[in-house]
Amino acid sequence: MAPPGKRHRAQSTKIQFIKGRLAKFQAKYLTTDFAKRLAFDPSLLWVSAILLLVGELFVNVLVIQRIPYTEIDWIAYMQEVEGVVNGTWDYSKLKGDTGPLVYPAGFVYLFTILYYLTNYGKNIRLAQYIFCGIYLITLALVFRIYSKSRKIPPYMLVFICCTSYRVHSIYVLRLFNDPVAIMFLFCSINLFMEGYWTLGSVFYSFAVSIKMNILLFAPALLLAYIASQGIYGTLKQLTICAGLQILLGAPFLLANPLAYIVGSFNLGRVFLFEWTVNWRFLPEEIFIHPGFHITLLFLHVVLLAIFAKPWFRYMKSFAKLQPTGVGIVSQLLLLPLFTANLIGVAFSRSLHYQFYVWYFHTLPYLLWSTPYTIWLRLCILGFIEMCWNTFPSTYASSAILHVCHFLIICGIFWRRHPTKDLNIDIKKEK
């Protein structure tokens, strides 16, 4: 046993060591400068991401417990998959209260699992908690994308998490299939960022098999395949995507191939005017006219063609720089993917309220890719949120939504050439 004097000196030394570490911690982290960095430095975005994920867990539990669930499509989903459970593989005979089944086979398999997990769809509260998990996983995937790309400041995560009642409602109070497809989409994008193209293609194709809107990303993804994988590699990835669709749809294709293809990949479906968010200012006779739909498709294709050249340049640069492991390089992949989806949303034949999640989590990234001031970016984001929370939609809300989409697309077009800032940031990270 050490003498009392030595023990006292040892304890005193330990206390001094702890005090010194605390003083260093305080000098480094408990400062105004570090607080500013937490709010504005993209390299520290992961700190805000962790805190907000924990906060979102409690917020969603509170929403589930305190706010009444609203039935819209869940019962219809359960009725549709129940037909398959009972042995019906003919898509023309699969129906629910809201009409025939209009989603691909991945939807059927996934919601069949939910059918059994929730006591044949009766345990709504459990379904809400499952969708809470889907929401948190999606947020984590989005935050990882933003953290690696270092494009947006951390304070924007607060806007993603805390400003949209509509998005929380879509996930845990409505139980739509759109959020499930979006979760698998962001998983695929994370894999593409890391160079796992084959696995990414599997997740992407599975997302398409849940809801067809994921195809809006396809034009930019095709350019990414060509730039990074070459012609042979592109054919391989397209074969994987198509092969998974055939594999998932096989039982339905064998039973009634025409009914499955027409039912699950119906590009000519006419939406109800009463639910439109984006075309309320038009007369209904124009909204349902086939010529209007053809015009939208034409404009969609033209705009994709205009952006194709800079996108391909981005993708070639990404393919060249991605092996370096520098996270900021992912900006060259993300901007074309997110912009292609935005263009698809902007020229959609109709947007319903649950479709907000198609592009909600990409809006901060898109806005920070424009030359606008921070205040204008935030104003555009605020107006978009207002439009999606106006129920029912009005002439003004639908028109404002188009103006916001137009401003974002124009801003991205103005900055369609790679900037010197990106090249400087890449060199810094190396």
Once rounded to an integer, what is the mean pLDDT over residues 371-400?
A: 95
pLDDT at 150 over 50: yes
What's the CA gap between 78 and 94, in Å, rounded?
A: 11
pLDDT at 15 over 90: no
Q: Give how far Cα 363 sits from Cα of 152, 255, 290, Å.
A: 11, 42, 30
Write the DSSP string, 162-188.
HS-HHHHIIIIIS--SHHHHHHHHHHH
Domain ranges of the chain: 39-265+272-416
Residue 20 has a pLDDT of: 63
Q: What is the pTM of this model?
A: 0.91
Question: Residues 338, 366: contact at Cβ < 8 Å?
Answer: yes
Closest CA relative to residue 278, chosen from 397, 105, 184: 397
CA 185, distance to chain mean position in Å, is 7
Q: What pLDDT score does 369 carry?
A: 95
Angstrom distance (rounded) from CA 220 to CA 218: 6
Q: Which amino acid is at 127?
A: A
Q: In which band, very low, low, confident or very high, does the pLDDT at 9 lie, cut at 50, 70 and 90?
A: low
**Residue with the larger pLDDT of the pair 23 and 379:** 379
Task: Write the CA distances from 334 to 275, 366, 409, integer angstroms.
Answer: 31, 9, 15
**Alpha-carbon span 59 to 241, nearest angstrom:** 37
pLDDT at 268: 61
Buried b or exposed e, range 155-167, using 16+ CB within 10 angstroms: ebbebbbeebebb
Give the number of C-alpha atoms closer than 13 A to the C-alpha of residue 368, restricted to the C-beta side. 19
Instruction: Please state the φ and ψ torsions of residue 100, each to the nearest 5 degrees.
Output: -70, 160
Classify each residue of 319-358 as buried b or exposed e, where b means 16 or more C-beta atoms within 10 Å of its C-beta. bebbeeebbbbbbbbbbbbbbbbbbbbbbbbbbbbbbbbb
Residue range 323-342, pLDDT digits in tens: 877 778 899 999 999 999 99
Q: What is the pLDDT of residue 383?
A: 96
| Confidence band, pLDDT 50/70/90 cuts, at residue 253 | very high
Quote the DSSP letter at residue 98.
T
Q: Look at 55-59, 99-103, 323-327, 345-349 and tell me which has the smallest mean pLDDT.
A: 323-327
User: Looking at residues 51-76, what average pLDDT do you find?
Assistant: 94
CA 133 – CA 121 distance, rounded (Å)? 17
For 272-303, write each residue's pLDDT tens digit.
788 899 999 999 999 989 999 999 999 999 99
In 3D space, the residue among 323, 47, 10 whose CA is nearest the CA of residue 158 turns out to be 47
Sign (positive/negative) of CA torsion 10, 16, 18, 24? negative
Asked if pLDDT for residue 412 goes beyond 50, the answer is: yes
Look at residue 180 in the predicted model and tell me its pLDDT.
97
Residue 118 is which amino acid? Answer: T
More confident residue, 112 or 17: 112
Residue 362 C-beta-side C-alpha neighbours within 13 Å = 25
